[in-house]
Amino acid sequence: MLPNHDALQLDAHGRLRHFLTLEGLGRPLLENIMDRAESFSSVTEQTVKKVPLLRGKTVVNLFFENSTRTRTTFELAAKRLSADVLNINIATSATAKGESLLDTVRNLEAMHVDMFVVRHAASGAPHFIARHVAPHISVINAGDGRHAHPTQGMLDVFTIRKLKGGFAGLKVAIVGDVLHSRVARSEIQALNLLGVQEIRVIGPRTLLPAAVETLGVKVFHTLEQGLEDVDVVMMLRLQTERMSGAFIPSVHDYFARFGLTGKRLERAKPDAIVMHPGPVNRGIEIDPEVADGPRSVILQQVTHGIAIRMAVMSMAMSPDGGDKTA
C-alpha cells in the first residue's frame, strides 16, 4: 500500500502541482478538474484546435509501458495547450542500456523540461520521480503498476457526469479483473468522492482483491445479479500480462460467465450506459454488438480523455495552478 501523497501533489495553497493518485484529494478539486475539462471540450470543435496556456512549456511522455491511446491523448492534450512534446522511446533509450530511472530524469531535467507524464509497470514510480524532480517540474501519473491511473478515472467520471448529469442516486457496476486493474482503483476512489449511491464490483473471486469491500463497494460473483438495476456498467480488460498463474479456467469460460451480452445488459436500467477503459477484447469481456451498440460510450470516453488531460496539465503548470481544492 502506497502512503497518502496529497501533500506531495498539492502546493502550500492547495493547488495542484503533481497528479499522482486520487487518494487524498477532495471532491472540490475533482469537480474543478471536470469543470475545466468542460471548458476545453469545445476546443476540439474549433478550426484551430489550440489554446496558448502552455506556450513555451515542454512536456515529456516517459512511457516505460506501451499504451498507444493514453500516450496519444496526452500528446494531443499537450499540443492543444500549445506545449512542445517529447516522446521518449524507452525500448531504445539509455534506460534499456542500464541507466537508472533517476539518471534518465536528471538528464531530461538538464534539457529544461517542465512536465513528465509517466507510465511505469512498478507501482510508485511516478511518486518516486515527483519526490526527486526540480521544484518547477510537474509529474502526471499515466498508470503505475496495479496502483493508480488517475486521469483515466477522471475521464470516466467526467463521461458519467456529462451523460447522467451528476452522481447522486447512481449505481455503478465495475466488472471483471479488478485485482490487476489500476483503473478500477482510481474509479472507485473518484466515484466514492463524488457521492454515487452504490458501487458494485462483479467478478470471480480469483480476480477480486482480498477485502475489496473495504474500498467502499458491494461484491457480486454473478453478472446477472450484479447488473440488476444499475445505471453505469464499466467493463474491465482481462490483464493477462499481469497474471502469473491460472486465474480463470479459460477465456471461453470467462466470457460464458462474465462477458457482457445484450441479454445480460437487459438487467441494467433501460438507459444504462456501457463503458470500457480499453483496449477492448471483443468476445472475451464484451460482445461486439454491445461494444458497438447504442448504449456504448467507449469512444466518447476517448474524446473526453483529451479534455481531462488538458485540464490536469493546465492546472499543474499554469502560474495560478487552477482553482483551489476548497
Does 175 lie in the same domain as 158? yes
Residue 325: inside a domain: no
Q: pLDDT for 30-59, tens place per residue? A: 999 999 999 999 887 788 889 999 999 999
Q: What is the pLDDT of residue 144?
A: 95
Does 244 lie in the same domain as 106? no
Does 183 lie in the same domain as 78? no
The packing angle between helices 182-194 and 27-41, to 10°, is 100
Residue 324: inside a domain: no
Residues placed in the known binding site for carbamoyl phosphate: 69-70, 119, 149, 152, 278-279
**Is-contact 266 303, C-beta < 8 A?**
no
pTM beyond 0.75: the answer is yes
- Cα torsion 165, 167, 170, 175: sign: positive
Query: What percent of the chain clears pLDDT 70, i.e. is strictly above it?
Result: 91
Counted domains in the chain:
2
Q: What is the pLDDT of residue 1?
A: 40
If residue 73 lies in a helix (H) or strand (E), which one and from where to where?
A: helix 68-80
Does 234 lie in the same domain as 313? no
Does 157 lie in the same domain as 39? no
Q: Is 189 helix (H, G, I), strand (E, B) or coil?
A: helix
Residue numbers of the domain that contains 246: 150-300
Does 103 lie in the same domain as 223? no
Residue 123: inside a domain: yes
Q: Which three cell numbers stand for residue 138?
A: 510537474
Residues placed in the known binding site: 69-70, 97, 119, 149, 152, 182, 237, 278-279
Residues in the chain: 326
Residues placed in the known binding site for L-aspartate: 97, 182, 237
Does 172 lie in the same domain as 247? yes
- Nearest Cα neighbor of 171 from 194, 198, 153, 195 is 198
Does 169 lie in the same domain as 143? no
Does 182 lie in the same domain as 137? no
Q: What is the pLDDT of residue 320?
A: 62
- Nearest Cα neighbor of 178 from 151, 150, 215, 229 is 215
Does 287 lie in the same domain as 309? no
Does 166 lie in the same domain as 29? no
Task: List the single range of 88-102, 140-154, 232-246, 259-273 with lowest mean pLDDT.
Answer: 88-102
What number is the average pLDDT over the span 138-162?
Answer: 97
Q: Which three cell numbers stand for residue 166?
A: 451528476
pLDDT band at 93 (very low <50, low <70, confident <90, very high): low
Does 126 lie in the same domain as 263? no
Residue 36: what residue type? R
pLDDT band at 97 (very low <50, low <70, confident <90, very high): low
What CATH number should be reported for the domain holding residue 31?
3.40.50.1370
pLDDT at residue 324 greater than cutoff 80:
no
